[in-house]
Amino acid sequence: METAVTTLETMFQKAESDLDYIKAMLEFEMMKGLPDGLSQEENPVVLVQQLSMVKSRYKTLCEQLEKISLERRESMRSIRATLAKTVKLVQEIQHHTGMEISPLSEEEQLAMQHLMLQTPEETDLPAKQNCLEEPEVH
């Protein structure tokens, strides 16, 4: 299995290298065929370079979003665990002090179920989907 993964990674790296070479050749050919004195907005080579910068920035932002998402999930797990312990502790204190334990209202029960049962992955789907695909370039 690892051999297949390594082979695929190598193939993707070669494809990326080939694309970089083709891009460089196209830029060179465009520069040879362009008249002098073009503004930066008119120069297709400059536009391609700017596109590369935007693409790189997009990739960086997606990586940052993934890190933030992971940290958020971990924070939510911690908050849920702390809340569950707190509720249990309050119930135990009520039981030991002889206080009448009032059952949670329907709204409180729904809120507790929502908080305890909601999986972090469900809340992260839109963010992940946005960064899984690269933006279309026309």
Q: pLDDT tens across 62-107, in order? A: 999 999 999 999 998 999 889 889 888 988 898 888 887 777 789 8
What pLDDT does 112 receive?
77
Stretch 111-127: mean pLDDT = 61
What pLDDT does 103 receive?
77
Q: pLDDT tens across 12-47, in order? A: 888 888 888 988 888 787 777 766 666 656 667 777
What pLDDT does 131 receive?
62
Whether 69 and 127 have beta carbons less than 8 Å apart is answered as: yes
Residue 3 token pair: 């051999």
The end-to-end CA distance of the chain, in Å, is: 37
What single string gives the DSSP state of each residue in 35-104? PTT--TTT-HHHHHHHHHHHHHHHHHHHHHHHHHHHHHHHHHHHHHHHHHHHHHHHHHHHHHHT---PPP
Rounded distance between C-alpha atoms, residue 89 and residue 93, angstroms:
6
